Structure 1
Amino acid sequence: MQAQRSGTLDQHDRPPRRRRSRWHWLWKLPVLLVVVSVLQVLVLRVIDPPFSAYMAGRQLEAWAGNGPERIDYAWRDWDAIAPALPLAVIASEDQNFARHRGFDFDAIEKARAHNARGGRTRGASTISQQVARNLFLWSGRSWVRKGLEAWYTVLIELLWPKQRILEVYVNVAEFGDGVYGAQAAARRFYGRDASALDWTQSARLAAVLPSPRRYSATRPGPYVQRRTQAIQRQMRQIGGEAHLRQLD
């Protein structure tokens, strides 16, 4: 009897199984988020986004009766957009776009110093940061959102060529209330395709970008008119459409 017991372990003699904590999977969550975000950015390098996170948010607002009647959006490839528009948004939003790697630290420092003096608040977001924010994130302000914006900006700069970043930007930027992208804006405001936009029209679209629900590309007030003229001067000063060759 004793020998039989020594050959087999009694149920009570077996070491107790360690119970898994219900939170054991938490360490995997950051890894999963990293993998998903990398896959998102890789896929959208070659596939044109059918919508952006901002568009989805605005659509929810519309269904709730607090947004535009409809979202106007139509993708156009780089070659189907007049070069004047990407040039205008570079001149207006991010003149160091071709040189920086997602963050313009000189512009950030200048904006910080300007804002410390008071007056109109100046931002320093690059085009890459704006693509990250518009395409993947929600509207609002929080440290979590800023951190995710920085992460997606790094991924976009690592995994996309500059021309792709700018192509996506001019397709998902909001140029009017519920009007997203070059084609929708060109058709809505000027009755033409994005490929036919001239310098003045392109500069005016870029001029409303800081607040497209407040300013109008078709009924420009004094601020938009002044800004349009300033953008056109900057378009010439940075080298005109030849400037876009730096993105190749």
Structure 2
Amino acid sequence: MAASSSCAAMTQDITDRPIDRRGGRSNVLGRFIGLCVRLACWLLLLLAAAILLYRVVPVPSTLMLARWLTLRPVEREWVPLEQISPNLIRAVIAAEDQRFCSHRGVDWIELNAVLEDEDGPSRGASTLTMQTAKNVFLWPGRSYIRKGLEIPLALAIDFAWGKQRVIEVYLNVAEWGHGLFGAEAAAQRYFGKAVARLSPAEAARLAAALPNPLLRDPGKPSRVLQSAAARTQRRLGQLGSLGDCALPD
């Protein structure tokens, strides 16, 4: 309520002014600006409410919502973090975001390295938290606008959710094939078992498929996928206990 009152107060002076016929254009512009500010405030309030709600309820991704709206099938079974194999949790951290437990949603070290690349950005710097923000709140594809929105969203959900909830949501909304979302559905399709029972090798193959889930098949791994999975397993040895922050208590 306090935030809503602040939004109203910010625009009241602009939108409630009496019409001045001699300055009609400036009056219309002022009302338009006031409307934009008010809409922005309400969008921020809705976003904050969604972040708080998503702390406790199963979360869809924007890709899942798009498929539902276009009547395309979605295969996903939400599972709590306690029912996800620690092998997969650690493998995803090793493959995608080795500093996951030490940053606050954004890996500024990696981001600065990418921005300072003399040949221009040649790789991504998205943390698991930023990927979660994109999957849940934003749209697919590459753009500087979306990347700019990912950063404050990642900082917000890292603060509001914590590491365990971030990884739980990520592993339940990540895409692992056409219409296939979440680790449980992926484990069932590719290995015929619950995600809780994944071996280290199977977990590494699932994690290695994430950068290109529509072309990489963990059930029938190509040489590229096998190489990426082996690299993930080597990183696991280097990770040590640094990935334990996301493991269930």
TM-score with structure 2 setting the length: 0.81
Cα contact 2:163–2:246 (8 A) shared by 1: no
Q: What is the match of residue 42 of structure 2?
A: 32
| CA–CA separation in structure 1 for the residues paired with 2:100 and 2:154 | 13
Report the RMSD for the aligned CA atoms in angstroms.
2.4
Equivalent pairs, count? 222
Cα contact 1:75–1:181 (8 A) shared by 2: yes
After superposition, give the CA deviation of every residue in 1:124-175 in whole Å (9 maximum; x if it has no partner): 1000000000011112333432332222112101211111101111111112
After superposition, give the CA deviation of every residue in 1:81-134 in whole Å (9 maximum; x if it has no partner): 11111100100000000011111122123334668289xx42110000000000
1:27 is matched by which residue type in structure 2? V
1:72 match: secondary structure: coil
| CA–CA separation in structure 2 for the residues paired with 1:28 and 1:52 | 27
Moved more, 82-91 or 106-115: 106-115
| CA–CA separation in structure 2 for the residues paired with 1:31 and 1:47 | 24
1:56 to 57, 62, 65: 65
| CA–CA separation in structure 2 for the residues paired with 1:213 and 1:238 | 27
| CA–CA separation in structure 2 for the residues paired with 1:194 and 1:203 | 13
Q: 1:1-248, aligned counterparts within 5 Å?
A: 18-19=18-19, 21=28, 23=32, 24-49=34-59, 51-60=60-69, 63=71, 70-112=73-115, 116=119, 121-239=122-240, 243-245=243-245
Cα gap change, 1:115/1:88 in structure 2, threshold over 3 Å: closer, same or farther? Answer: farther
Cα contact 1:37–1:152 (8 A) shared by 2: no
1:56 deviates by 1.9
Q: Which has the larger radius of gyration?
A: 1
1:223 is matched by which residue type in structure 2? V
Q: Which ranges of structure 2 fall in alignment gaps of 5 or more residues?
A: 1-16, 20-26
Moved more, 227-236 or 74-83: 227-236
Moved more, 104-113 or 170-179: 104-113
Cα contact 1:89–1:206 (8 A) shared by 2: yes
1:26 deviates by 2.5
Q: What is the match of residue 9 of structure 2?
A: none
| CA–CA separation in structure 2 for the residues paired with 1:48 and 1:114 | 39
TM-score with structure 1 setting the length: 0.81
1:216 match: secondary structure: coil
Q: Which ranges of structure 1 fall in alignment gaps of 5 or more residues?
A: 1-16, 64-68
Percent identity of the aligned residues? 38
| CA–CA separation in structure 2 for the residues paired with 1:116 and 1:243 | 32
Cα gap change, 1:146/1:113 in structure 2, threshold over 3 Å: closer, same or farther? Answer: closer
Cα gap change, 1:27/1:149 in structure 2, threshold over 3 Å: closer, same or farther? Answer: same
Identify, as 1 or 2, the structure richer in helix: 2
2:176 match: secondary structure: strand
